[in-house]
Structure 1
Amino acid sequence: MSRENLMHSLLDQISAWCLRKFGSFVKAWLLSVQDHTVPLYHDYVEGMISDYIDQRQKWQDQSRSELQILLQSVPWGISILLGICRLNVCRWRRGISLLAYGVEQFLSLSHSLAPLPLYGRLMKYLLGWLHRITGNVGIHTNKIEVRLSSSTAEVTAWSHGAEMVLGFTAEDVLHQPATTSFVPETESSGRSLVTLLQSVCTVPESHSLNINENRDCNGDRYWILWVNVPIYSATQELTEVSCIGIKIEDPTLMQLLVQGWKVWRKLLIS
């Protein structure tokens, strides 16, 4: 084999390796996000990949070398990477918007029970502004509004929004433990939601924002971001917990954002 042919063969092998690696990366990434991304953007990236696969087959049918295919694939690769970037930006934007909305709801509920200090009112204003500039995601989401007894975790109030989202009627859930209806006893990961619910009802201050699995009247499970605010009697005894729930698509990202919020809140208070 001549030196020129050897060089072409080497370049073809390197090109084929690069194309395989890029294809593996995109497939693995799509698989990792398919359960918690906006379908429109996910389908957009998948559509670009499908178009590229068809085009690559045409190039192979034309007996083009791997190096030629690699060079002609550069614009496709750039478009696919830009699509991935858009999807990630959308994912984070939605997550931040929902977090801002959740904390704003927590502050609003708290203010309805007792006037907020100045820093709390300023934070509420800033979070409302952040929620608006990131898409007002929470405004366009049906809210689940529930009240739970602090002593028994029984449902003491059930909103129309809760019925719309989860399908249970007030007659199905009122004066019954939450774990007999919309809260499963065990999460898919094996975590005990009975224990979690007891903690939420007895120490709600530690669960101002909480994420866990819930179920609707058909048994289908959904991840929900919960905003929990304690309600005290005139003698300052904990009587109920007011809860606002918002369905989320990306529990992993929301857990990360909630942990970040908790750390920032501790630093702010201290």
Structure 2
Amino acid sequence: MYRKLVDEANSIFLRWDVDGNIISINRYGEELFGYPKQHLVGKPVLGTIVEEVDSEGYDLAAMIEDIRRNPDAHANNENENITRDGRRVWIGWRNAYIDAGHDDKPELLSIGVDMTER
């Protein structure tokens, strides 16, 4: 039931480890970013769905690093992301640190909503 809810939600459910690598993404996230899950899992967030610098010159690499080190300071944020075909999308993210996630290791859960049309 939980898996069905996550897969069918019109929100991105992204799990990533504290090193910045993607653990999982739901179907909606795959479709929005244009990547099949197997092309994202194990890859860094930075360089796949987040560029180092956004189109306005904002340092997204520093932002990702800060989220990894201090997720509570970024519980809610909105930033530009990039799709596989180079389209830029704005996502409103809710980030949470999980002490014992995948394989009982710490991870981040980021739930995103596409804000591009807004």
Q: CA deviation at 1:233?
A: 2.9
Q: State the match for 2:93 in structure 1.
A: 226
Q: Which has the higher helix share?
A: 1
CA RMSD of aligned residues (A): 1.9
Equivalent of 2:37, from 142, 162, 170? 170
Q: TM-score, normalised by structure 2?
A: 0.83
The CA distance in 1 between the partners of 2:91 and 2:100, in whole Å, is 28
Distance in 1 separating the partners of 2:17 and 2:76: 18
- 2:12 maps to what in 1? 144
Q: Percent identity between the aligned chains?
A: 26
Q: 1:180 Cα shift?
A: 2.2
In structure 2, what is the equivalent of residue 203 of structure 1? 70
What is the identity, as a one-letter code, of the residue corresponding to 1:142?
N
Unaligned stretches of 5+ in structure 2? 1-8
SS in 2 for 1:156: strand
| One-letter amino acid matched to 2:32 | V
| d(CA) in 1 for partners of 2:51, 2:36 | 17
Return 5+ residue gaps in structure 1 as ranges. 1-140, 251-270
Which of the residues 150, 153, 161 maps onto 2:20?
A: 153
**Contact 1:142 1:165 (C-alpha < 8 Å) held by counterparts:** no
Matched, 1:243 2:98: no
Q: How does 1:122-133 map to 2 (within 5 A)?
A: none
Q: Whose RCO is larger (CA < 8 A, sep 6+)?
A: 2
Structure with the larger strand share: 2
* Cα distance per residue 1:171-229 (max 9 Å; x no partner): 11111111121111111111111110111122110011011000111010011100101
Contact 1:208 1:228 survives alignment (8 Å): yes
Size of the aligned set, in residue pairs, is 107
Distance across 2 between alignment mates of 1:164 and 1:189: 25
Mapped partners of 1:176, 1:149: distance in 2: 10
Contact 1:148–1:201 (CA under 8 A) maintained in structure 2: no
